[in-house]
Amino acid sequence: MTQKTPDIFTGNFTQQEPIPQEGIEAALAVLNSGRLHRYNVAEGELSETALLEQEFAAQTGAKYCLAVASGGYAMACALRAIGVQPGDAVLTNAFTLAPVPGSIASVNARPVFVGVTEDLVIDLDDLEAKADQAKVLMLSHMRGHLCDMDRLMQICDDNGITVIEDCAHTMGAAWNGVPSGRMGMVGCYSMQTYKHVNSGEGGFLITDDEEIAAKAVILSGSYMLYERHLAAPAPEVFERVKYVTPNVSGRMDNLRAAILRPQLRDLDTQVQRWNERYVAVEEGLRGTPGLQVIERPEQETYVGSSIQFLLLDWQPHKVKDVLKRCAERGVELKWFGGAEPNGFTSRYDSWRYAESAAMPTSDRILAGIIDMRLPLTFSVADCEQIAAILKAEVGAVYQAA
Ligand SMILES: *Cc1c(COP(=O)(O)O)cnc(C)c1O
C-alpha cells in the first residue's frame, strides 16, 4: 500500500458519477423490451426519446425540441435547417472546441473567427466589426462563459444575423434568468460524458421556429414518422418541408433517452453541487501572484463544471513548468497556449482546413488560458486542496527568476 500524501491530490479528473439508479432501471426496461429505436413503439406507447424531448422543451421553455446523436450533429443540423449553403460564411468563436468549426465545415460553409476577451467570451467589438461578413453566428458559450447577451443580440438583430447557440457547456446556465439556448434562433446541447448530463453521446436542438424544427426532425432521419414526436410542430408544417429536406440520419435512441430523463430532473441539484466546487477553487485561487481569476458577470447564472484562469503574458516555459509541477502533485491542467493541440485544447489556428487571419489580441489571451475540469466525484475539500496546490505552484514559478 502506498501512503496517501496530503501534498499530492489523488482524485481522478475524468471520473464521472455513476448513472442514477433510476436511469439504470429505465435502461434495463428498454433493453428488455428490445425496442431501442425511437420509432419502434408498441400500439399507444410513447417512446423514451419522445418523452425526453417533451421534458427538455418544458425545462427550457422552448416550443420544439429534437434529441439527436451528438452535440456536433445538433449544430450541423441547425446550420442545415437554417439554410446555410456551401461556401457561405458563418461567424464563430476563435476560442472554442473543434466540433464547433467542424459543424460549419461539415456543411461546406466557411468559419469566420471572432476573437476572445480576457473574460473568455466572444469579443463583441470584433463581432461588430465582422458583422457584415455573414448572416449566421454559431455562438459557442465556451467553457460556460456567457458574453453580454443583450449586446450580442442587439448586434445580430441590427445586422440580420441568425444566432445558433452552442450550449455544450451551459446546459442549466442563464443570462438575466433566460436559459442559455433560448436567446438565439436555435440552442444546441451535448449529452456526451464530459457535459452536464451523461449518456455517453447525445445532443439536443431546441427552437421556437416551426419550420426549422420540422426540417431538423426530417434531417435527423424521421422516416416520415414525425407524428410520433411530442415536441415537434403540427403535421401541416411537415407537409411544407418533407419532400425538400434530405434525411441525414443522426437520431437519439431509447436507451440513451432512458438514462437521460432522470438526470435532467436532477440538473438543478447538480448545478448547485458544481458551483460549490467551483467557488471553492475560485476562492482558493484569489490573490495568487501572476494569476488572473475570471470574474463572472452578475447577469450570468453559470454551471461551474470546469474552471479557467489566466497566466497572462507568461513566458511559455514558465507555463509549462506550472503544468509539470501541478501534474506531479496530481492536478491535471490543460493549456490552450501550447504549440500543438493536445486533447481538447485546440484553437482557431489549429483548424487548418479553415482559413484565418492572425488575431494578435486573441493570441495573447489564448496563450495564457489554463483550464481544469471539476468532476462531481470531487468533494469540496478536494477542491480546496487543488486550489492550495495551484496557488503554491503558480506562486513559486512566478516568483522564481
Ligand atoms: C462537446 C462540445 C460540443 C459537441 O459535442 P459532441 O456531443 O461531442 O459532438 C460542442 N461544443 C463544445 C464547446 C463542446 O465542448
Best probe residue, ligand 1, of 106, 140, 189, 190 (max atoms within 8 Å of C-beta): 190
- Number of alpha carbons in the 13 Å side-chain half-sphere of residue 353: 11
Nearest CA to 71 out of 163, 196, 202, 183 is that of 202
8 A C-beta contact, residue 140 and residue 94:
no
Nearest CA to 141 out of 74, 188, 199, 109 is that of 188
Whether 166 lines ligand 1, by a CB cut-off of 6 Å, is yes
pLDDT at 3 > cutoff 60: no
H helix or E strand, kind and range, residue 91: strand 89-93
- 115-146 pLDDT, tens digit per residue, is 999 999 999 999 999 999 999 999 999 999 99
Which residue shows C-alpha cell 435512441?
A: 253
Whether 192 lines ligand 1, by a CB cut-off of 6 Å, is yes
- 310-339 pLDDT, tens digit per residue, is 999 999 999 999 999 999 999 999 999 887
- 275-301 pLDDT, tens digit per residue, is 999 999 999 999 999 999 999 999 999
pLDDT at 401 > cutoff 70: no
Whether 142 lines ligand 1, by a CB cut-off of 6 Å, is yes
- Give the mean pLDDT of 78-98: 97
CA dist 270 and 267 (Å) reads 5
8 A C-beta contact, residue 26 and residue 18:
no
The Å distance, Cα 99 to ligand 1 centre, comes to 6
SS3 content of the chain, % helix, strand, coil (to 5): 40, 15, 45
Whether 99 lines ligand 1, by a CB cut-off of 6 Å, is yes
The Å distance, Cα 97 to ligand 1 centre, comes to 7
CA dist 274 and 283 (Å) reads 14
pLDDT for res 1: 45
Q: What atom of ligand 1 comes closest to residue 97's alpha carbon? A: 13
Find the DSSP H helices in 159-286.
210-221, 235-241, 254-265, 267-285
pLDDT at 27 > cutoff 80: yes
C-alpha distances in Å from residue 16, one per residue of 233, 260, 328: 36, 14, 22
Q: What percent of the chain has pLDDT over 70?
A: 98
C-alpha distances in Å from residue 273, one per residue of 168, 169, 302, 305: 18, 15, 12, 9
Whether 250 lines ligand 1, by a CB cut-off of 6 Å, is no
Average pLDDT, the chain: 96
What one-character DSSP code corresponds to residue 227? Answer: G
pLDDT for res 313: 96
Find the DSSP H helices in 311-374.
316-328, 360-366
Best probe residue, ligand 1, of 195, 201, 346, 351 (max atoms within 8 Å of C-beta): 195
Strand 186-190 relative to strand 334-335, pairing: unpaired
Q: What atom of ligand 1 comes closest to residue 201's alpha carbon? A: 7
Whether 100 lines ligand 1, by a CB cut-off of 6 Å, is yes
CA dist 252 and 98 (Å) reads 22
Whether 109 lines ligand 1, by a CB cut-off of 6 Å, is no
The Å distance, Cα 166 to ligand 1 centre, comes to 8
pLDDT at 97 > cutoff 90: yes
8 A C-beta contact, residue 236 and residue 105:
no
Whether 203 lines ligand 1, by a CB cut-off of 6 Å, is yes
What is the pTM for the complete model shown?
Answer: 0.96
β-sheet bridge partners, residue 112: 91
What is the maximum span of the chain, computed from C-alpha positions, in angstroms?
74
